[in-house]
Structure 1
């Protein structure tokens, strides 16, 4: 405090300057109690700055939280909103605010009561990682000085250190029956660095991996390892480094020390198989195969590696090793990356491919800030029923919902369920209503079938259906009549394994043609052709098997396709060779989406998403990789989006992403990336603008009480999300997604019966 007090002349020195101190980068949230039906966390300003400002009245000051826009973003935002956006929030600095400093996920927060709202609500400003401790402490000290002047109506210069400290809100001592506001993180919450000095024992610390016996005299060059399942294998160590080993405790949301001095080794076996081994003088702690399922993250800020361990008994752990020096970290990261590459591709990495790996910057070697989850204090969760929160998961027959298509021309959503399609209307008050069912889907000849894929077509007037048992034909359904009216014979030899629009907004028009994929070709399908509908002049076929599985287009019709091997090919138009080939990293590209201008694409693998900028930086015309080949040294660096290993530990199961997509609309700016975990109850949304800035873990999440089948934004905006469950469909607002804290990720107390996150009313497909 004495050091901060000496800064008073710098902070208050110029009476003509209304701003005393400012934090230039952060986020503002409204935090509600866990029992609130409005949801526990709502982001008010995604990017904001906090200022302590003078008023025109003596002894009075304001905390001002101002929304921050990127260049040109404000105008675009206002075009998307029916009402003018609120640009700032102002709070009179007073002791009644119960202003406090805390932490969430390793980031400093300032919280205070919402005096004009519900009595239990708090505003919370989350400081960006770039904000220094010096600025944070000075901001806090300035607020307390302002409180002193308002309370005693005299200069802060007359305040003693005890006077200033009396305004520090103690969440444990100052909460009584008359003060029911939910506490922020306790003042003594350990920071990330302090968590390394926590006690070495904990009830949740996992034992050494099952079925693995430590050798009596382990060596670091050759180890005979008893692998899970009882098979023995002789492994050679390719690197050994000294580390600290920590294990994540989900109960306290901190990493606990497992071993203060251990050896981390990468062991090479046969057939491109590598293992990570952690042991000390007393025992072997971890031995597991190196694979994407580990969800590994290197953190150069804290000089550590964090990953997930599945023990085979449906238990999930998250481990952390902290390196002793930079050389060890660099060498270990390089060996780990090569091991992962060879595991995925089952081939030895060449020198040229090492550059490609660094270029891709994927999940197992990018550097981001890894933080500790906040130990969220539960505040009076209610078990009372709320009819609006109930999701009906009772099975209705053998069929469940499998696919979702959201209309672009008409405000409708279509849900595929076995042999029927449910039609839902989006209302003006942002709700969803059941309209009707299309039953007994049959081919023109009368044979019933269960479509394997559906795609809206020709201004949402028709639906194109695929039948996995008839891979050479497509079927056109007239949605007005609710029946299949045409069968399109595509080709007698070339199959149809996937379809997508000829350009990003073709579905809003009367465009007849669509694009199709087979395992080794990309082609146009024109239903106006007399016999086979495949257009030979607009086909690109490869001699070798490429295993094309996914595709997408931008507004200009440029084409991106992904393969089973992990390649991504960018085409200017059909019938020509690809302008750009992005080499495979070994994980199948199960889904692709492209921004309308073609400058960004999002590619989905099981374990992570790849966000790629296709712009050619050196091109004076600003062309992308769709229109011009990228030089070898200009291949884009992919930004890898994945979940934190700590979050997976709390979730308690593996991750398997469904195809991610941008919010879309003919005049809408892409702001959000949406995905979900297959066979899981989580909807996940990334802030696209902040991800482009390198904030790769800037995601929000919403948990349901049943596995989610599909989700997508309403066309033309990113405010509302259509969520499809096995037997229901619901509409949720993006603001109902929350920061992935422990309480948001963990199942609710009545997870079998409801979701406690203010979900929109659900509807059954009858």
Structure 2
């Protein structure tokens, strides 16, 4: 760690600071010192560090007056019973005697606890409860720094010299509730001759490795459910997914399962038995899946960077349905912050329907427009059977550090792009792909292999000001590209790709552009100059030929008085328009300037991106941890056979929606490997003029993922395949006109992969062999 000037090295900006007293204290066991405080690590000299707690300033706080002179005795102990003084900065010199520990409050909030070595009462501790506003990655980074402080203060040597075993033991001590009691055994091992735990063969982590195949992993605190109103209490059997054997092992029978309303539209899942007790906030991050066939509920549970997959199996089908309904209701209310009772009955039915097993929807789906579906499936079968026999594992990768003009020397010195690749655009006519990296655009040729062509450097506006381009869109027969800029959200820029220069700038007046796209799906193949876009409150057409500075076509635009928070837009081959919002609802139009033909209610999750099939039957919406595949065919009534862009659904019908998720079992591998939740990139259909959309592509972390629409319709339990890379996938898309090749922009590389190289997910595909041990540590 840095041994320079004394300074705060890392900071957690927000949390609650409390004093914890022992049970024998006559005073209250918990006293809040600061409602809003920050916690930082300060460099206090060579191999010396301090924890610093500061009160976050509040404009409403009044300064201390003369009445506070009674607290001027600095000899009184910090935060002790005998001292009422509440300074604005508290300093705790770091050492192993501090007994620093990561833990959880009863509400499930992450907290750090350590001894108040300056306290007057025996057993006094302090607690810093981290605010929900602080991101998990920042907490993990702070905790990692604590491990290094622990090592350096104990051994008075740089942490760079620490062995992997040494750091794992320190991590165990700081993350184990009985960490203070580990000194008799593990701390002796820490003090062995080599001082770096090389011989710690009997350590707790090594013992746990020997237990592979017995995933009886203790669940995380809190051991007590938070206070609130119990809205549901049922009984179920509890299973835990064994990541080595790849199956569920029974943990306990007849365990109590409850859902608790803790207020402010927050809900808690509590599972309590004789041997197992766990609890978690109810949110989309649970990655919940319901399986009607065996009346089970499977969900992910993250504990100390390990993501486990648990299953609740209900004996009674009525209990299963009751739990599913209450879970769906709780998730919806937590996302929308609205009362479920105010939702219209038809919308409730739609919100609950995607939770059904796809198998239950099969008969209804396959018997509608049966002739068309048989033709569609026949086309898919024919196409897949004609695949060639090329080597399925080959994929050509180009190092973008050199391709973007970054020399090996700059890469080694750490001066390469901090952001890496940021977006990918695939052209339609000239086999080119464009990758944005800072203010440069890399150009790659995608024929049989991937070949670097050139780099467009220093993207600048007409004034010569450099900027990082965003949301690239191919334009005018792929001879140009439309770009946007974070700092000028009401502007679009036209780049001439032959010259590599911005040649035109267009404004949209006072409307900030949230997202934009072609007026018709394949307009980039033509000389069409117009495009469509959305602001938070409106939908509009842009025509650069308008003589005014504002290029919005007034009579082909729709502005809403209500702020819908529009977030995404997609169009079909005929120019039908789909618009998604941050709230999660979707509006469908047959043309601009009029009211929506169809409004699809929100399932609660924000829509990040929309892609439509050319014919308007399918709509694909990307949310954070799920995709929604919607069949927009009207199934009944006088408009039967039409699509919802043209005719609305009858009152008793809504879009048939397939929820596409990574199964909790597979997600447990992926999230443990990534150390973060599932977060999908923009999802796309394979596309091409006259081509049938039969595949879906997206990514999360280092995983590229493709779904087969045929397998989704057939009710396949795992309708996706996966390809794992060595670094994170920024964005991926199909080669235009093909469902066999995929262009993948990684953080520092670009790859051309064959769909045949994607595999059915398993532990061997999803996670490196050495990482599987993390489940048993």
TM-score by length of 2: 0.63
Q: Which among 202, 219, 237 is matched to residue 208 of structure 1?
A: 219
Give the C-alpha shift of residue 208 in structure 1: 2.8
**Aligned counterparts of 1:544 and 1:201: Cα–Cα separation in 2:** 56
Give the C-alpha shift of residue 284 in structure 1: 4.9
**Aligned counterparts of 1:461 and 1:732: Cα–Cα separation in 2:** 26
Q: Equivalent residue for 2:666?
A: 647
Give the C-alpha shift of residue 621 in structure 1: 6.6
Q: Which among 755, 764, 770 is matched to residue 734 of structure 1?
A: 755
Q: Equivalent residue for 1:402?
A: 422
Give the C-alpha shift of residue 692 in structure 1: 2.6
SS in 2 for 1:206: coil
**Aligned counterparts of 1:540 and 1:277: Cα–Cα separation in 2:** 46
The yes-or-no answer on 1:635 pairing with 2:654 is: yes
Q: Equivalent residue for 1:172?
A: none
Encode CA deviations 1:417-475: one digit per residue, 9 max, x unaligned.
11110111122xx2110000111111112111111221110110001110110112111
The yes-or-no answer on 1:422 pairing with 2:415 is: no
* CA 1:663–1:475: 2 relative to 1, 3 Å: same
Task: Report if the CA contact (8 A) 1:338-1:349 is conserved.
Answer: yes
**Aligned counterparts of 1:408 and 1:748: Cα–Cα separation in 2:** 40
More moved, 353-362 vs 534-543: 353-362
Summarize the alignment of residues 527-676 of structure 1 with structure 2, pairs less than 5 Å apart: 527-531=544-548, 532-618=550-636, 619=638, 622-651=641-670, 652=672, 653-676=676-699
**Aligned counterparts of 1:408 and 1:603: Cα–Cα separation in 2:** 22
The yes-or-no answer on 1:303 pairing with 2:295 is: yes
* CA 1:279–1:431: 2 relative to 1, 3 Å: same
**Aligned counterparts of 2:603 and 2:275: Cα–Cα separation in 1:** 35
* CA 1:462–1:356: 2 relative to 1, 3 Å: same
* CA 1:620–1:327: 2 relative to 1, 3 Å: closer
Q: Which among 349, 355, 358 is matched to residue 358 of structure 1?
A: 349
Task: Report if the CA contact (8 A) 2:252-2:276 is conserved.
Answer: no
Q: Equivalent residue for 1:480?
A: 498
Q: Equivalent residue for 1:265?
A: 258
Task: Report if the CA contact (8 A) 1:205-1:249 is conserved.
Answer: no
SS in 1 for 2:340: coil
SS in 1 for 2:656: coil
* CA 1:390–1:438: 2 relative to 1, 3 Å: closer
The yes-or-no answer on 1:495 pairing with 2:512 is: yes
Q: Which among 375, 394, 413 is matched to residue 433 of structure 2?
A: 413
Task: Report if the CA contact (8 A) 2:396-2:752 is conserved.
Answer: no
Which structure has more relative contact order (CA 8 Å, sep 6+)? It is 1
Give the C-alpha shift of residue 648 in structure 1: 0.9
Give the C-alpha shift of residue 329 in structure 1: 1.2
* CA 1:438–1:202: 2 relative to 1, 3 Å: closer
Summarize the alignment of residues 373-522 of structure 1 with structure 2, pairs less than 5 Å apart: 396-427=416-447, 430-491=448-509, 493-522=510-539
SS in 1 for 2:285: helix
Q: Equivalent residue for 1:277?
A: 270
User: Where is the helix percentage greater, Structure 1 or Structure 2?
Assistant: 2
Give the C-alpha shift of residue 257 in structure 1: 1.4
* CA 1:391–1:747: 2 relative to 1, 3 Å: farther
* CA 1:482–1:748: 2 relative to 1, 3 Å: farther
Task: Report if the CA contact (8 A) 2:698-2:732 is conserved.
Answer: yes
**Aligned counterparts of 1:201 and 1:538: Cα–Cα separation in 2:** 63
Q: Equivalent residue for 2:60?
A: none
* CA 1:530–1:353: 2 relative to 1, 3 Å: same
**Aligned counterparts of 1:235 and 1:344: Cα–Cα separation in 2:** 19
Aligned pair count? Answer: 511
Summarize the alignment of residues 56-67 of structure 1 with structure 2, pairs less than 5 Å apart: none
**Aligned counterparts of 1:571 and 1:321: Cα–Cα separation in 2:** 42
* CA 1:387–1:708: 2 relative to 1, 3 Å: closer
Q: Equivalent residue for 1:348?
A: 339
Give the C-alpha shift of residue 202 in structure 1: 5.8
Encode CA deviations 1:383-437: one digit per residue, 9 max, x unaligned.
xxx997897886633341101110012110011111110111122xx21100001
Give the C-alpha shift of residue 696 in structure 1: 5.6
Summarize the alignment of residues 692-703 of structure 1 with structure 2, pairs less than 5 Å apart: 692-695=713-716, 697-703=718-724
More moved, 688-697 vs 548-557: 688-697
SS in 2 for 1:694: coil
**Aligned counterparts of 2:238 and 2:453: Cα–Cα separation in 1:** 57
Encode CA deviations 1:198-227: one digit per residue, 9 max, x unaligned.
xx99642221322x134xxxxxxxxxx3xx
**Aligned counterparts of 1:300 and 1:342: Cα–Cα separation in 2:** 23
Summarize the alignment of residues 10-89 of structure 1 with structure 2, pairs less than 5 Å apart: none
**Aligned counterparts of 1:568 and 1:254: Cα–Cα separation in 2:** 38
**Aligned counterparts of 1:696 and 1:408: Cα–Cα separation in 2:** 34
**Aligned counterparts of 2:285 and 2:471: Cα–Cα separation in 1:** 28
Task: Report if the CA contact (8 A) 2:708-2:720 is conserved.
Answer: yes
Task: Report if the CA contact (8 A) 1:564-1:589 is conserved.
Answer: yes
Q: Which segments of 5 or more consecutive residues in structure 2 lack a partner in the other structure?
A: 1-210, 361-393, 402-410, 773-777
SS in 1 for 2:706: strand
Give the C-alpha shift of residue 261 in structure 1: 2.2
Encode CA deviations 1:224-271: one digit per residue, 9 max, x unaligned.
x3xxxxxxx422222211111011110111111111221111111111
* CA 1:363–1:275: 2 relative to 1, 3 Å: farther
**Aligned counterparts of 1:481 and 1:324: Cα–Cα separation in 2:** 68
SS in 1 for 2:293: coil
Task: Report if the CA contact (8 A) 2:621-2:629 is conserved.
Answer: yes
SS in 2 for 1:258: strand
Give the C-alpha shift of residue 357 in structure 1: 3.8
**Aligned counterparts of 1:389 and 1:626: Cα–Cα separation in 2:** 41
Q: Equivalent residue for 1:47?
A: none
**Aligned counterparts of 1:410 and 1:201: Cα–Cα separation in 2:** 52
Encode CA deviations 1:517-548: one digit per residue, 9 max, x unaligned.
11010100000011221111111110010111
**Aligned counterparts of 2:530 and 2:243: Cα–Cα separation in 1:** 52
Give the C-alpha shift of residue 732 in structure 1: 0.2
Encode CA deviations 1:458-504: one digit per residue, 9 max, x unaligned.
1100011101101121111000111001111221x112221111010
**Aligned counterparts of 2:691 and 2:496: Cα–Cα separation in 1:** 28
Task: Report if the CA contact (8 A) 2:396-2:449 is conserved.
Answer: no
**Aligned counterparts of 1:235 and 1:299: Cα–Cα separation in 2:** 29
Give the C-alpha shift of residue 364 in structure 1: 4.6
RMSD: 2.3
Q: Equivalent residue for 1:326?
A: 317
**Aligned counterparts of 2:418 and 2:540: Cα–Cα separation in 1:** 36
**Aligned counterparts of 1:696 and 1:574: Cα–Cα separation in 2:** 39
* CA 1:201–1:664: 2 relative to 1, 3 Å: closer
* CA 1:450–1:389: 2 relative to 1, 3 Å: closer
**Aligned counterparts of 2:503 and 2:477: Cα–Cα separation in 1:** 17
Give the C-alpha shift of residue 583 in structure 1: 1.1
